[in-house]
Amino acid sequence: MKLFQHPFTSLSFITSQHHNPHRNNLHHPSIHHHPSTASTASTRHRHHHRHITIHQIHQINNKMASSDSNEELIAKERAKSTFRYTEDIAPGLKIDMALHSILHTSLSEFQEVQVIDSFFGRTLVTDGKTQSAEHDEFVYHETLVHPPLLWSAILSGRNGDDDDDKGAAPKTVFIGGGGELATAREVLKHNTVERLVMVDIDPEVIEVCKKYLPEWGGNAVANHPKMELIVGDAHKYLMETTETFDVIIMDISDPIEAGPGIALYTQEFYRRASRVLRPKSGVFVTQAGSADFVPPPHAFPTTADGCVVDDEENSKESNCFGPILNTLGTVFDHAVPYTVPMPSFGEDWGFVMAFDGSEEDRAELVGLSSGTVDKLVEERIERVEGVPEHGFRSLGVRRAVTGKERG
């Protein structure tokens, strides 16, 4: 089986014998008042190790507040008062932004769930990890969904048994995870899709996103006639199903953070997924974590003589992009990595698409022309009725198409 490596991929791969001893303890949110230079409270970010601090950087002097003659000065100080949202990307590198409000906080059976309004707009945060932000969630979800679905269409066009079957895929799609509903939103844009099964373990995330993040998909996606939304274990579902799918999409946490979710990244699981895929149009895709945005020498704390600090906490920093790519490469004929910049994550994000086929198939995928892609998009992708207009995406598309407002 052929394996194609990203420049910084690890040579390791993942088996079911691996386990994750670093599963996060759930915590309740808190707001701390600190001087502007303070940054002490820590937790973890999305699918990568990060710290979050929310703090008020200016305090109003109590004596000042008690004096009527200082009302104007008090107003000026209050105008400068703000809350901050800070995330560590790597030792010595962090992203810091304004936090406008906390819209929702709850504790589900599995995780803490928050919706905040920050510099990047409304943002879903679970266990202190940014999952997606209004500013660029469509970038992540379109990148995850459209390449495998369009490639499935091309494969079926070449391999179909008769004229009616050629190019008819994808008809059936499975999503593991995807509680925001935005992955399902992108799948349902494809007019060939007849059935979509989505299995996510946490109903709290689904309900919170339906209420606070309707542009991600909301009730229009959750109640779509083509959609079967199941609250449950995606691993168990795929292991037991007798159904087959044209495309399987895994939108789940990284193996270094997901605890029991490590089972969704093993050779054994990937082998099962390959058997559930339809042979002539089957494509598998998974999000694959941070895409080596931080150069390896800077990804870990080091001692004065340049040696990496070797302790349990720092071991969590290991990128999983390479191991995921290599593991899929031991199961499928082809494992193809691709990446996209994600401003709200503060780094590039990785994805891996895998499928069986000839070397010519892979060469065609890598060399697809923009004209071919544009034609497929025009023929196949349509708006999902009932999903509110996404202001950030519309602005981005207008800029890309017209070229206006570019610096």
CA torsion through residues 262, 265, 268, 272, sign: positive
Residue pair 271/331 in contact (Cβ under 8 Å)? The answer is: yes
Structure tokens at 323: 């191991």
Alpha-carbon distance of 325 to 120, in angstroms, equals: 30
Residue with tokens 């936090």, as numbered in its chain: 99
User: Does the active-site annotation cover 251?
Assistant: yes
Q: How buried is 10 (Cβ within 10 angstroms: 0-12 exposed, 13-18 middle, 19+ buried)? A: middle
Q: C-alpha distances in angstroms, 23 versus 44, 265, 317, 355? A: 11, 16, 13, 31
Q: C-alpha distances in angstroms, 56 versus 36, 70, 81, 83, 85? A: 7, 21, 7, 5, 10
CA torsion through residues 398, 402, 404, 407, sign: positive
Q: How many helices (H) and strands (E) does the chain have?
A: 13, 14
Q: CA nearest 122: which of 143, 136, 141, 140?
A: 136
Out of 136, 246, 251, 356, which one is annotated catalytic? 251
Q: CA nearest 128: which of 186, 53, 75?
A: 53
Collapsed DSSP state (helix, strand, coil) of residue 140: helix
Q: At what angle do helices 370-380 and 137-159 cross, to 10 degrees?
A: 90
Structure tokens at 79: 């105008």
Collapsed DSSP state (helix, strand, coil) of residue 79: helix
CA torsion through residues 143, 146, 148, 150, sign: negative
Alpha-carbon distance of 221 to 6, in angstroms, equals: 34
Which residues are catalytically annotated?
A: 251
